[in-house]
Amino acid sequence: MSTNARPALFLDRDGVLNEEVNYLHDPRDLVLIEGVGRVIADFNRLRIPVVVVTNQAGIGRGYYDVTAYESVNRAMSEGLKKDQAAINAWYFCPHAPDSGCLCRKPQPGMILQAIADLGLDASKSILVGDKISDLEAATAAHVTGVLVRTGYGLEEEQVLRKTQPLLSTPVYDSLSRAHSALRSCFGFPTVDEKDL
């Protein structure tokens, strides 16, 4: 690992950046979660790469194709522009859950590929997700995992609390609610959201 390797903010897409829609593939159904643009814009300014890592089983199951997936990403990028925010890199797994691939979370393949491609420091990076599989992928890639209660997060938190009563995973209501804590983890001063 290069001594110049940078940390990154890894984000799951559906349920973290946008409202959960079962097999989202039509840009008309895209609704960004309040505050995500401001958070991403802040990390853009801090030169922390923002990398999306998302399972897209609908492709493997034949519900939609890569073109439809990419059309949602383009719409998301357009929506983020109003906050001067940008995703630095997109990684997706197109495989169905039973494919045995190494990229579908909870496997760490997408994260490890991004680390290799972008020269990132896993040990200083953070992944924010709304599912236990996101946290498991983060652990497997030696990245810190954070759970948000948007998307499936509230339900997943209840499962975690039953299986891990002394839950050590940080949990926040949303990406914007996690913002100050994420800044602190990256070594930056915390901020009041209204100042952004």
Catalytically active residues, by annotation: 12, 14
Q: How many Å apart are CA 156 and CA 80, to the nearest integer?
A: 27
Q: How many Å apart are CA 7 and CA 16, to the nearest integer?
A: 20
Instruction: Rounding to the nearest 10 degrees, give the CA dihedral for residues 106, 185, 73, 150.
Output: 70
C-beta of residue 9 within 8 angstroms of C-beta of residue 126: yes
H/E stretch holding 185: helix 175-185
